[in-house]
Chains A and B, each alone.
Chain A
């Protein structure tokens, strides 16, 4: 389908206006919103992730692609709701207390969104209580970002706060950011870590799968 091909291309190239236009055209042509999302936006974001991993594109290209995707998704949203679309899961994401770096976090959020996750973006300088509240509001995944050696330790406080609230069992806690390592993730008791936005999607899918499996339906 031409509309889908062009939509994918527009998203990959980060052409926001074209992506929006092709989405509208697709809907007019009667393509189901879910198809436009799965085979258009999501496929495009997967490709962007691959291109990033192959070293063909870098942060700026990923960001513009994500923005085009987000704009197109806005057009689709009402239709998806009408079609009763299912989401891959609900993720609350934020940069931890004391830290205001949000470019990486936003990229991860957009990649997740582009892969069917529902995102509750808590912003930056997010206190532990706020993450806890997000779980009460329905998040299955808590994703934390930190870019500073001095703030990465605040992730531990969040994991503890979730535990104290008695909510640790049901949720997946994942972390990332430039100074974070797998070892650190294990130390603070997180369920997963990923080094970049494209591997973050795979990781969140896996971790969530595990958590759901242990909690039963």
Chain B
């Protein structure tokens, strides 16, 4: 065995972390080892250019081919590097720009309030037990079930509901501490006692939307149906790749990797639950039911199911039926017997989150014709028409999340989110009104749309070289959105021809999927009564821009509805209504999945839809 490589230290700003690593370790690996989130859309392959950092002292390994290509010489000379490529040679200090730091993103937690008739699967029954005595030696559990059998209204369960080991373990102490009374939480679909709470205790439910990028959690009062708390966090798996495929590729490297991804997300959900409960001075024991929605890969990783088959054609799920798992088995500490419900999914790339979105927006229940899109790196689209429901997934790519865009970033402070052109220049609005440091999805969409409107961008996506804001850089045109003097980092913020190309690919794929659903239903876009646009980007985008670039069909704006985190709202409905759970199964069962990968007309529509 050779000698241990020497150790050096890395100071990470602006978070102020110091980490000791072996010489040669990449900055990304070092940052991840101490939980500093650095955006790495490609999972550290050196292809996305997201993980830009600036070196502020010390020496790194020589710039790689990828860094030269993605950053360019001037940026390298200015000390910019890609965290996934650059290794440390001496003690160094690096600064992660806000555009690459994943921790400070705006999280989208709004969404619809659930408007369903209250009939939660888990309900509470107040019980008063007879105390044990020498002439009444019934076991605690028997005593509890006898009391439960005597409640009014009667418990609807066939026979005596079983009590699991987790609840039995807590039962003797709880009954004695509560002076032989309490509130029994009964899981009606299972006919099982899931908790014994103090008398008159509120029963809480936890609804979680497991996004590839963000987690959103809601604490719901099961007695009133109201949402009593909401919290969000970055999905901690993000350091292992920003999109689903990169995570699957990482999980494929071995069972330990898959376990790591699972543990990370379970722990994050547990932390959100604890945080939400602490805010209301409650205990996570009060959570007696839980619903988790996510795309198929997130769903599988959370449940501990294999994902390899999702990453290779023909991309099939391990299971599409709803799952009802024990919270304890998953590693979530909620009420002892609490279950975690994962709704059914439609296909490998049309997940339970889409089903939840359809529930929340009631898109598939109306008699009208509704098109519902959840725009993300993968865009799921459903069309309800004439009592039928068609769904597809189209691979829009991460451009609308700011990836693969020259100055792209997520919707973090300083990201340009709105762009307007007037009086010969662009004016912009940024997140939190901070000095601009980059441009996020809604901003780049606006920039292209405004460019088209005023002739800076032509119908083929080319930039008008004669325009004063358009300059040429190595023969390739770029258009200045905000000049260096007005930005937060004193560099120009631009969009280039290839950025327009990324938008063309993304919007082309979404539009092609939409058109193929319409043709499957045999209708024209004018026949669509309502277009529901969900997801973070879908909620912030300017509809006029989306229509101008052709991302969405050209219909009167009043037919569009932007709904925020509808998947989270759907998850809450599933906590509150047994009917909604039945409906979820029904919807997933009748959705007709349209496979685009082998669709003979996809390429044609895609190519057509790429132009402006």
Listed in ascending order, the chain A residues whose CB lies under 8 Å from chain B are 53-61, 63-64, 97-100, 102-103, 125, 148-151, 153, 178-184
Contacts and interface: CB of A to CB of B under 8 A. Distances in A.
B603 A98 contact: no
B312 A55 contact: no
B611 interface: yes
B42 A56 contact: no
Residue among B43, B462, B500, B608 with the most chain A CB within 10 A?
B462
A181 B46 contact: yes
Contacts of A63: 607
Given A149-B245, A149-B246, A55 B476 contact: yes
B252 interface: yes
B606 A181 contact: no
Contacts of A151: 311-312
B32 interface: no
A102 B603 CA distance: 9
Residue among A58, A64, A125 with the most chain B CB within 10 A?
A58
Contacts of B241: 149
A61 B311 contact: no
A183 B66 contact: yes
7 contacts: A57-B462, A60-B608, A98-B312, A98-B313, A100-B598, A179-B47, A181-B45
A51 B71 CA distance: 23
Contacts of B475: 53-54
A56 B243 CA distance: 30
Contacts of B505: 59
Contact of A100 (B42, B497, B504, B597): B597
B10 interface: no
Contact of A60 (B64, B312, B607): B607
A181 to B, nearest CB: 5
Contact of A56 (B248, B249, B462, B606): B462
A189 B248 CA distance: 24
Contacts of B607: 59-60, 63-64, 103
A149 B245 CA distance: 6
Interface in B12-57: 42-43, 45-47
Interface in B292-348: 311-313
Contacts of A53: 475
Contacts of A103: 603, 606-607
A31 B610 CA distance: 37
Interface in B450-497: 460-463, 475-477, 496-497
B498 interface: yes
B476 A58 contact: no
Contacts of B199: none
Given A100-B598, A150-B312, A181-B65, A57 B460 contact: yes
Nearest to A67: B607
B191 interface: no
B66 A58 contact: no
Residue among B246, B496, B607 with the most chain A CB within 10 A?
B607
Nearest to B308: A150
Nearest to B248: A150
B36 to A, nearest CB: 23
